[in-house]
Amino acid sequence: MFLKFLPLLSTTLFYALYYLISTFKFDVQILTASVPYDYLLQLVVAYVLYALSKRVWIFLVIHALLMGLLYIGNAVKISFFGGPIMPDDIFALQSLLLILNGWQFFTLAIPLAAIASLVLFNFSMRHWSAYLASMAVILLGLTVVYKPDTLLDPLDSYFGNSVWDQRSNYVWRGATLYSLLESARYFAAAEIIPDADRAEEAADKLLAATPKKDLVANTFAPRNIHIVLLESFWDPNTLKKAKYKQNPLSPEFRELWKSAEYSHALVPVFGGFTANSEFEVLCGFPVVKHSVKFERQMLNDVPCLPHILAEKGYRTIASHPNVPVFWNRVNAYQRMGFQTYWSLQDFVQDDMNREFMSDSTLYRQVLEKISGSMEAKQPVLDYIVTYFGHWNYPLNESRPDKISSPSKIEEISTYANTMYYKSRELMNFINDLRKRDPEGIIVVFGDHLPFLGENFAGYVESGLLTANRSDFSPTMFKTYVSTPMLIIDGKRGPLKVGSLPLYQVPKLLLDLLNFNEPSIMDYAAPLANMRVRTLPGLHFNRLADGAVDMCTEPPYSEACQLSSRWLENISVVSNDLFMGRQFTRPKYTPEKPPEPI
């Protein structure tokens, strides 16, 4: 008789324990009004799991791990990135496991492996209740996959749904119902591959919406392009409460950046998902959803920047000192037109900060590798993704701490010291490049803001952000995605580009080369008097007067109505190009590349 109440007891115990940990350790609290039905749903899960279990003690272990993953896992994700676990995070799991080391790896890997192993080992169909539980699980699974609106329509109508504020969805509904509804929403919102008529109609609207420029009959002029994506590169001196005794950024970099009027990239991510910043700067399309474009939404060979330049005789090279399969880069780089990909095993690991190769040795080795092409006057697209600067900001013995702060947030000091070295190594590289390649185009930018403590703690301390993304002001949203950017146009020096969405960089680079042929970058050219920055579930417009117009939920402003229609067409063309039949792929005959001089 006691065993029949075991799921009730375990659910009560684990729910109370994990609720307290989530609340007091991570400051993530499910609303009190949501706790009763969240608890009851979790109790149903417990009895289903119990019915399918062979041994009681294994059931308890599985239940503890499963609830821990659901409640503590979501709390950790919210505290780090501002939002709970999404279905797309499952596809990013492989990359996450590759990047973690030591206790971090085992903290995530052991519960996942244990749950899978124990469920298989403990599975049983010895009682009628097991057949009933199996039928319920299968029925629910079929509904989620094939008829998701059956769940979404009534429950969204009752609870509401904020597309852009997933943290609020989580605390309003509780972990169990949130996970169920977002799984159903994932299948309901599956990407639609457009037919020819829909794709071409969207493409025509995008091209018509772009302000026309006077065409200048300039000849294509190939120059070397060096693009450097800087891991977590940002200006720590913005943190006024950090009270650093010296500016962490190199004075030489700051002077160069000042000459560009402190231009910024508006990036698509915060604290991670570097691959989405890569996608934008290489392919010229905005990321609009919470997913990694390289993982599942880049199925075709596409004329991104590397492909276009390779057709013009460029040698196209990507360099990143990480394992090559991370974020599916092997396939993604090939599909966008890179001829060569140098990953960790292609470099001498002679200056490592734990597992992160220093920027200085990376820059030096890349220059050694491409020097032959540069000397032979073959134009090069030299794309570098740095790894040094990744959380939790380790330094080796040759890089002692130079910066200190009275802040109790550990990352405030560790990150500043990382930027001390990272910015100086960058300036040495830029100076070297400008001497070797005076007419080369150099692009450097941060891929996303750094992680500075749970719930944006470092930013909250200095008043840059609030602990809850739901409370961000328009200015905070811009801060949330703004990283330093420099675009150096050869001897003409840094360009003053203001706050530039990252996906509009490739078009700018082609313009600097006098590339006058049609390209996929034409579709996402800037709208008149505004620049659009997308984020999962929302976007904002950077207007001509510098104001930030937030577009979260209707009713929209006039500018938001315009940008929303534009983004709908962008999504259609993007799906056609990267996953569909490429009806909107520009039709042109590539010129014969010039012979090397």
For residue 491, name the pLDDT band (cuts at 50, 70, 90). very high
CA-based radius of gyration for the chain: 26
pLDDT in tens, 548-584: 999 988 888 999 999 999 999 999 999 999 999 999 9
Where helices occur in 403-504 by DSSP H, the ranges are: 410-436, 457-461, 474-480
Tokens of residue 83, six digits: 């939002």
Angle, CA of 25, 29 and 32, to the nearest 5°: 140
Tokens of residue 414, six digits: 């560790």
Cβ neighbourhood burial of 61 (10 Å; 0-12, 13-18, 19+) = middle
Tokens of residue 427, six digits: 């300036």
Please spell the DSSP secondary structure of 112-128, one letter per residue: HHHHHHHHHHHB---SH
pLDDT, averaged across the chain = 89
One-letter amino acid of 548: V
Place of tokens 């970058």: 521
The pLDDT value given to residue 290: 78
State the maximum Cα–Cα separation within the chain, in Å, rounded to a whole number: 88
Using an 8 Å Cβ cutoff, are 283 and 304 in contact? yes
Place of tokens 């996450």: 96
CATH superfamily of the 222-534 domain: Alkaline Phosphatase, subunit A (3.40.720.10)
- What stretch of H or E contains 548? strand 548-551
Tokens of residue 379, six digits: 């134009």
| Gap between the Cα atoms of 409 and 82, Å rounded | 18
Give the mean model confidence (pLDDT) for residues 422-431. 97
| Gap between the Cα atoms of 396 and 313, Å rounded | 41
| Gap between the Cα atoms of 335 and 341, Å rounded | 12
- What stretch of H or E contains 543? strand 538-543
Please spell the DSSP secondary structure of 124-186, one letter per residue: ---SHHHHHHHHHHHHHHHHHHH-THHHHHHHHHHH---SS-HHHHHHHH-HHHHHHHHHHHH
| Gap between the Cα atoms of 471 and 114, Å rounded | 38
| Gap between the Cα atoms of 410 and 254, Å rounded | 25
Give the number of other Cβ atoms within 10 Å of residue 76's Cβ: 20
Tokens of residue 516, six digits: 């006058």
For residue 168, name the pLDDT band (cuts at 50, 70, 90). confident
Instruction: Kindly report the backbone phi and psi dihedral angles of residue 73, in degrees, each rounded to the nearest multiple of 5, phi listed first.
Output: -60, -45
Place of tokens 């990150």: 415
> What are the percentages of helix, strand and coil residues in the chain, rounded to 5?
55, 10, 35
The pLDDT value given to residue 105: 65
Using an 8 Å Cβ cutoff, are 230 and 446 in contact? yes
Give me the residue spans of the domains in the chain: 2-188, 222-534
One-letter amino acid of 57: W
pLDDT in tens, 509-541: 999 999 999 999 999 999 988 999 999 889 999
Using the predicted structure, report yes or no on whether residue 585 has a pLDDT greater than 70. yes
- The total number of residues shown for the chain amounts to 597
Tokens of residue 285, six digits: 């399309």
Using the predicted structure, report yes or no on whether residue 117 has a pLDDT greater than 80. no
pLDDT in tens, 239-248: 999 999 899 9
